[in-house]
Every structure is written in C-alpha cells, then in structure tokens.
Amino acid sequence: MSVEVVVIPAAGRGTRMRPATRSVPKALITVIDRPTIQYAVEEAARAGVTEAVLVVNLDAAADIERHFQVEGPLPGLENMRVRIVVQEEPHGLGHAVLTAREAVGNRRFFCGLGDMIATPSSSFYEQLESGSAEGSAVALQEGQGDYYDRYGIAGIAERLDERLVQMNSAVEKPGQDHAPSNLWLVGRYLFGPDVFDHLASIEPGHGGEIQLTDAIDALARSGQCRGVVIPDDLLDVGNPLDLLKASTALGLQSDEFGDDYREFLAGLR
C-alpha cells in the first residue's frame, strides 16, 4: 500500500535565525509567501500523502496549528489532515520522531525535515518509495566541501545501480576521518514502523541527543535500509544566508513573477 502519512519534525528553536525566531516559531519563517513548514507539507501532498504529523515545541504549537486551520484548509492541502504533536523536551531529532509514534501507529511513513525545502518539481518521496523494496530508505547526496561534521553519513554495503545503494551503517556527524562514505543524509526518509522500536531503545548519541541517524544505523546493520541518491534540489532555510538563497532560487522559478524578479536582479549593481 502506498504511504499515506508524513512526519515533519519542526521542534527546533531556530537559534541560527535570531532575532526573527525570538517571537516567531522557526517553522513559520516565510520564504516568498508561505512559511517553510507549509513547503514541507505541500511536498508530501504532491506524493499523495493525506496525513501530516507535525512535531513542534510547546511554544510554537498554537501558532503552527492556527496557520493550517484558520479560514479552513490551505489551497492545495484540502485533502491533507494536519495533526500537531508536541515534543515536550528537546532530546534530539530521533526523540522528536519517536514522539509521533502514537499518531503514526503501525504504518510506513515518510519523514521530512523542514530545514530543507524541496523545489516544486522535485519528487524525493516517490523516489524513496520506488527504491525502498518495502523496507526503509533514506535520501542521500554526494558531499561537497566541509559536510562530514554537519550531517549524517551513510555506510555503503553495495551499489545496486547508479542511484540506489544497500546501506550497512549510518553515523551522525562523524568528521572526515571517520566518515564511511561521501554520501550524506539530506533529511528525507521512508521508514517502517520498526524504526520506533529502535528509537525507543537506543542510547543518546552525538551531542547527548537521541539521534535518528543511530536508528537508521540499526536498520542498516540488519540489512533493512537502502539509500537513494537524489539530485541536488533541496534548499537549506535554516540560516540567514541560505534562506536568502532559497528565496532567490524559488523566486526565479515563480510562474507569477519570476521574469520580473530576474529583471530586478539583473539591474542590481
């Protein structure tokens, strides 16, 4: 059966986006005309998902819920049920996903980090689903520059084809000397409900937090996780410079005002 639910962890406090996030939740920071979390929900809707579980912190819960519910459903999200789950304490990304366990139940689910938004033409969830062989799958990109300390890195057992790999480990922010490959986890995942058992039993890892990557490591070690290498089509919106770049990239792609914006940029000195 196709995947009907997405978990979107969005409980971070957005310290890299101060002062904007002093009173506005990070997930409601706007790119062009909508908050970043709406892009994440829309991406899942394009893949046929009908239920979004947003994991948020207590301070942000009411504002985020209001965004999705005030004046009725948002255009394009009429078939999406949006549920809010509160992560009471900041114990890490893995802990945030575990918080969604009851809402997800015994279903396979997508997971997408709101800090990276996908361009409207991308189809990462569909690619994960077709590459997963009914198990779990994570989206990967070939690294460039200094990324070994910033991301989770995949260990590769076997290349299955040009874009598909069988994984045998995953390590959170290992540093260059300990990185098992040059493929990093970009924040798009497809999990079976068994990932919750791993999340519930792993010890705190990198930074003293319950790491999603450590649960992926457990899946990979038992041969249950594939990696799908995706094109470089995700836009980071978690810090000011990248947010500006993402706004520009999406602005240039806009059917409505892309041409005007291109002209404006060309005229800047």
Considering only the stretches 74-82, 83-91, 185-193, 245-253, report the one whose residues sit in contact with ligand G1P under the rule CB under 6 A.
185-193
The verdict on 172 binding ligand G1P (CB under 6 A) reads yes
Task: From 57-65, 113-121, 137-145, 156-164, give the range in contact with ligand G1P by CB under 6 A.
Answer: 113-121
Would you say 42 or 115 has its CB closer to ligand G1P?
Answer: 115
Size of the residue set binding ligand G1P (CB under 6 A) = 13
Q: Is 165 left (phi over 0), alpha (psi -120 to 50) or beta?
A: beta
Half-sphere exposure of residue 75, counting CA atoms within 13 Å on the CB side?
Answer: 2
**Which part of the chain contacts ligand G1P (CB under 6 A), choosing from 23-31, 181-189, 196-204, 241-249?**
181-189
Q: Interface with ligand G1P includes 218 (CB under 6 A)?
A: no
CB 109 within 8 A of CB 3: yes
Residue 205 as a binder of ligand G1P (CB under 6 A): the answer is no
If the CB atoms of residues 74 and 230 are measured against ligand G1P, the closer one turns out to be 230
Report the residue from 17, 40, 44, 116 that binds ligand G1P according to the rule CB under 6 A: 116
Q: Rule CB under 6 A: is residue 11 a binding residue for ligand G1P? A: no
d(CA 2, CA 22): 39
Nearer to ligand G1P by C-beta: 129 or 217?
217
Q: Is 115 in the site for ligand G1P (CB under 6 A)?
A: yes
Phi/psi for 250 (5° steps) reads -75, -35
Least separation in angstroms between CB 202 and ligand G1P: 13
- Per the CB < 8 A criterion, the answer to whether 217 and 202 are in contact is no
| Residue 103 in contact with ligand G1P, rule: CB under 6 A | no
Among the listed ranges 25-33, 36-44, 83-91, 110-118, the one in contact with ligand G1P (CB under 6 A) is 110-118
CB burial of 177-204 (b: ≥16 within 10 Å; e: otherwise) equals eebebbbbbbbbbbbbebbbebbeebee
What are the CA-CA distances from residue 231 to residues 60, 104, 121, 228 (Å)? 32, 28, 12, 10
Of 87 and 213, nearer to ligand G1P (C-beta) is 213
**CB of 109 or CB of 151, closer to ligand G1P:** 151
Q: Does 152 bind ligand G1P (CB under 6 A)?
A: yes
Distance CA 62, CA 36 (A): 16
Find the shortest distance in angstroms from Cβ 173 to ligand G1P. Answer: 7
Smallest Cα–Cα separation from 213: which of 238, 189, 193?
189
Q: What is the C-alpha separation between 140 and 120, in angstroms, rounded? A: 19
How many Cβ atoms from other residues are within 10 Å of residue 1's Cβ? Answer: 5
Q: Is 114 in the site for ligand G1P (CB under 6 A)?
A: no
Q: Which residues bind ligand G1P (CB under 6 A)?
A: 93, 113, 115-116, 151-152, 172, 184-187, 212-213
